[in-house]
Amino acid sequence: MSKENDSLEDLKYLLGNMGVEILDAIDKGAKDIETIKIFSGLPISCIKGRIPVLIDLKLIQNENNEFHLAERGHNFKQYLKKNLEKKKTS
């Protein structure tokens, strides 16, 4: 496994299911905490607690009070999708 893949695998465990759900919601168009809550079904307190972590890990960006996936966030989502497809075929 490459160093980048190791790093992305570590991120998956660091974020947990809730962090990944928040990324999914932002990827699907949620721009603020309230829409992330609607898209993900997670409590606002969990979202507010993980947003700073996602920003610090450079997975998302806060631009004009709207959240967007950063390039690293897109790479991480692709990595997760790729691994999910591998599991389905094996």
DSSP string, 39-55: HH---HHHHHHHHHHHH
Total-model pTM = 0.86
Query: Using an 8 Å Cβ cutoff, are 37 and 47 in contact?
Result: yes
> Tens digits of per-residue pLDDT, 27-51?
999 999 999 999 999 999 999 999 9
| pLDDT of amino acid 85 | 75
Give the helix/strand (H/E) hosting 60. strand 60-63
Domain residue spans in the chain? Answer: 3-83
| pLDDT of amino acid 1 | 44
CATH architecture of 3-83: Orthogonal Bundle (1.10)
Tokens found for residue 61: 């960006």
